[in-house]
Every structure is written in C-alpha cells, then in structure tokens.
Amino acid sequence: MTTEHEQDPVHCAISDALSVLGDRWSLLVVRDVLRGINRFDSLQDSLHIARNILAQRLASLEEAGVLVKSPIKPNGKRMCYNPTPKCLGLIPVLVSLIDWTANWSSEEQKRWAKVIDKTTGEEVKIGIVDNNNNPIPMSQLSIQF
Amino acid sequence: MTTEHEQDPVHCAISDALSVLGDRWSLLVVRDVLRGINRFDSLQDSLHIARNILAQRLASLEEAGVLVKSPIKPNGKRMCYNPTPKCLGLIPVLVSLIDWTANWSSEEQKRWAKVIDKTTGEEVKIGIVDNNNNPIPMSQLSIQF
DNA sequence: CTCATGAGTTTTATTTTGAAACTAATTTAT
DNA sequence: ATAAATTAGTTTCAAAATAAAACTCATGAG
C-alpha cells in the first residue's frame, strides 16, 4: 500500500490521522491513558486486547508522539505510558465520537461525553460555531477538505 | 489513581463508534461521499481501495445508517451512495481529525478543515465551548468519559 | 448489435489479529 | 534471604481480514 500517486486524495489530513489512529484499538488506548490507566497490564485488563497487539499499538502511539513511555522510578524497568500535549489534542476527536454515538445510536444507554472546565467546574460541549460563536446546525454545513 | 470511571470501559460510546468507523477506510469513504463522490467506481478510483473491501465497507456503512444506497434512475441497476443525516453527524469527527493533523503533524502542507455555512457562505469552526459558546483552551479541560 | 462501462464477486496470496504459552526481571511476602 | 507473585513484554501458531487481480453479468452509448 501507500503508493505514490501524483494526485493522491488518499494522502490527506484525515488519512494521516488514520495511519496512527485508524484501527480498532488506538483510540481506546488513548481514552484509557487520558483516564489515568497508564500501565501495560492495567490497559490489557481494561481493554481485553491481545498483549502483542497492545505492545504494538503502544509503540506506534509513542512513535507518533501521542504517548510517552517512561520508567516509574528512575532507571527502573517498570514502565508507564502518559499522554503528551498531542494526545490532549485528541480530546475533540473522542468527544465528537462519543457525541455522535449518543446522538445517533438507537441503544438504551446513551452516554454523552462529559468535559469539564476545570476553572469553573462547568460542563462544556463541542460544536460548530460561526464567527460570532453561534452554533450552526449540521444540515447547514458544506465541507471542503 | 483515578478510579472514578463509573462507566463500562469495554462497551462504551467510543468503541461503539469504532465498531463502524474503526478501520483504515470507513472514514475516508465517508469523507468522499460528503464530497459528492458517490459511485462505486469513482470511490475506488479516488481511494485506491481493493474493490471487495470497498463493497464490504459500503455495505457496513449502509447497515449502520450512515449511507443510503439507491439506484440512479428508478428501478435501475446503477447505484449511488449518499450521506444520511447520521453521516452529516460525522462532520465534527472529520473536522477534529483534520485539525489535529494540522496542529500536530510536522509536515509542510498543513491542511485545515474548511467548513462553510451554506446559508451565509461564511467559514465556521469547530471547538470546545462553554454554555455561552465561548471557546475553552484544551489545558483547562478535564474529561469524564 | 456491439463494445465499453459500472458494480460488484471470486479467487488466491499476503498481512494482521488473537489467544495462549513462555521469558526474564522485579517486587512482595515469609 | 528465599520463595512466590507481578510486570512487561515476546514467541508461536491458528484464524481472520485485506489486497490484487481476474472474472461476471447487466446496462448504456453509438
């Protein structure tokens, strides 16, 4: 794959993102790390992912600059994985995925993302707004990637 | 240790979303359909995806209610795939992925998502906002998935 | 009617994933 | 201090998913 076509719509910002995140597990690992689950075995317990695949994903997320791997105690061998600023940058992706499911799934238990402004304690939301910060309904949008 | 997840980590809104979208291609198909590329062969040309995989993804996106498949002319055999409202609901996901890449990739050609309000022609933006729709910096956020 | 196009399906090879067992180092318990 | 249990993976092998190409078979254009 990844052949070099001159006019290549596959090579765009979305596919760049998906080359790191476009699989069944990566975003769930990111979610767990943001939740504070940062050890190999706790992640495996939480996700029930195959251990070899987890090792692979952690390595690729580290290489992508999304996680940092560091020993728990200096020079130790026990590791932990923590979120980088680039990882925090994925919060809008996670929130919009959660809200999409909440909005559009027919399931009983609709879970909304809850994001809190630490300074006010207030709940915040993700959305599309115009220059005056007024929300705009989705049906009114046209997208140009 | 933040053991404050009262939510089921295995079956959550994110993994629900990823069971439809969590692969290499689905979101790129969605992007193309939103762009107006809605025929099997044009999608294949655009994405260089294997034809059997494309057929699979289109079927699963249709089953998920993201796309509708319909004949171009009544009772015809030539088909086209078009976005449902649920598909439009993915715009924030796509936009936040694009913006993430633009913000955090080291590449030269950073592409920002451009979303336009069809009624005004004005460009709009996606972000995390408080109840007054004012944007909030990422560092101020705490998440509870 | 003929030929090119559209929308897939089939076939086969390659890659990725998953489950389980296996290391080797490191804590913890006795 | 020694034994037992944890941690953080790796290895192995089977099963599933993906890719590339060839193959249908109906339709539309000329």
The answer to whether the C-beta of A5 is closer than 7 A to strand C is no
pLDDT tens for residues A43-58? Answer: 999 999 999 999 999 9
The answer to whether the C-beta of A62 is closer than 7 A to strand C is no
Where are the domain boundaries for CATH 1.10.10.10 in chain A? 13-88
Question: What is the structure's pLDDT at A10?
Answer: 55
pTM, two decimal places: 0.91
pLDDT tens for residues A66-99? Answer: 999 999 987 788 999 999 999 999 999 999 999 9
Question: What is the structure's pLDDT at A16?
Answer: 93
- Residue B113, CA distances (Å) to A15, A88, B101, B116 in order: 13, 19, 10, 10
Asked if the A13-88 domain carries CATH number 1.10.260.40, the reply is no
Question: What is the structure's pLDDT at B106?
Answer: 77
Question: What is the structure's pLDDT at A56?
Answer: 98
Residues of chain B short of pLDDT 70, as ranges, are 1-10, 107-109
Question: What is the structure's pLDDT at B10?
Answer: 56
Give the CATH architecture of domain B13-140: Orthogonal Bundle (1.10)
Q: Residue B134: CA atoms inside 13 Å, Cβ hemisphere, count?
A: 3
pLDDT tens for residues A102-124? Answer: 999 876 667 777 888 889 998 88
B24 or A141: which leads in pLDDT: B24
Asked if residue A29 has pLDDT above 50, the reply is yes
| A95: nearest Cα among B1, B111, B138, B73 | B138
Enumerate the nucleotides of strand D whose atoms come under 7 Å of any protein CB.
Answer: 6-12, 17-22, 26-28
